[in-house]
Amino acid sequence: MHSLGIAVGIALAGTVGVNALDNGVGRLPVLGYNTWNAYHCDIDEDLVLETAKLMKSLGLQDAGYNYVNIDDCYSEKNRSADGFIVEDHIRFKSGMKSLTDQIHALGFRTGIYSDSGWFTCGGYPGSFQNEERDIKTFQDWGFDYLKYDNCAIPYDSIIRQGIVGKYQRMADAITKLAQETGKPPILYSLCEWGWTTGDIAPEWDSLANIINFNSFLTTSTDFYGRNDLDMLQIGNGNLTLEETKSHFTAWALMKSPLLIGTNLSAITPEVLDVLKNPEILAVNQDSVVGESISPFRWGINPDWTSNSSFPAQYWSGRSENGTVIMLLNTLNEPASMAFNLTESPWIRAGRQYSVRDLWTHTDNGTAVRNFTVEAVPPHGVVALLLKDAGDEPDGLFPECSVWWQCTDKNGTRVGG
């Protein structure tokens, strides 16, 4: 119930694209924190403020994580007599505005949660038929971001909307409020369960399932709109360090928002280093290329095979600084992984490429035609940045790296 769908800057348009004001809101994936995975309903103002302070002291803010978001269960169970959502008078006794002021003073933006139905998934007031009232309340409280869920859906005879129309109601309210107040629109992150997997769990099977599902949706991601693969389970459960790196790499390179769901007071230095990897984060936050990486070969399965346990293994995509490659060992044992460079649609034939390892932070020579990584750990990942380094050396045989149908101008087949 808490998997997110498409994060948009201002409003939906059709079923895929978005309309966005030219003010930068929602252009890049959000980096930040969400309370749900670590705490569920066990939240209060002290915990949220302490989390923001930890984000700062642990260096996560400096790494780019600039949102602190409150999830479900923050309000009273009933609206006020005049119809407004009211923060829990015990757990948020100082009021939401006081809390967001303190978080903003630390240099963060803030996020809140609601639902497109009658109630939230936790049974608190939803925003259906109260969209304009609620978004105004959230803005008055000082929030910059809205996570919008999908529980307690009204009867068809009441809602009389399709999937998009159900969420367009809040998008319209956000647009109207921004126009009336002249303030930047609240960032809108919606959840529509038909567009997403189930909730993420801190185990490899869950990660593999989400990666598989999203491998068929990568073309829907670009600036101002992206598939959200759900919150980061880094530091939770029984994930190995290699699985943790794979989780973070896949989420970041597929341009998902990166919302930490970990108890930061218990985070280990190794996990913190994963979250702060500057070279992986730079791809996620690329200001020139907004697209996700996509599979160019599935690996152990035929291409375009949906397999929730063994998703695509060979991925690539454009970036401002070169071609990004992700090699994901979905197997339960170590594996060597090799590919022909031109299998990626972003690599040019007849050229050689310098190789940068985005996890070891080393320059690993020059690749000519092919690249191989030995003994990738079970459920492990390799993330590379390939940059054009000029023409490949003369005299290579065969004349084509992929010899099938390689032909001289006189018609002679070569290399076969």
What's the CA gap between 329 and 388, in Å, rounded?
26
CB 177 within 8 A of CB 139: yes
CB 103 within 8 A of CB 48: yes
Catalytic site includes residue 199: yes
The H or E element spanning position 246 is helix 241-253
DSSP letter string, 14-63? TTS-EE--TT-TTSS--EEEESHHHHTT---HHHHHHHHHHHHHTTHHHH
Catalytic site includes residue 408: no
- Using left for φ > 0, alpha for ψ between -120 and 50, and beta otherwise, residue 389 falls in alpha
Of 71, 72, 134, 149, catalytic: 149
CB 216 within 8 A of CB 298: no
Q: 249: which 2 tokens?
A: 């790499």
* Tokens 């060992």 sit on residue: 329
Of 88, 101, 199, 357, catalytic: 199
What's the CA gap between 406 and 401, in Å, rounded?
9
What's the CA gap between 410 and 157, in Å, rounded?
70
- Using left for φ > 0, alpha for ψ between -120 and 50, and beta otherwise, residue 379 falls in left
Collapse the DSSP code of 286 into the 3-class scheme (helix H, G, I; strand E, B; otherwise coil) and give the result. Answer: coil
Q: 128: which 2 tokens?
A: 């259906």
Residue 323: HSE in the Cβ half-sphere, 13 Å Cα cutoff:
22
- Among all residues, which ones are annotated catalytic? 149, 199
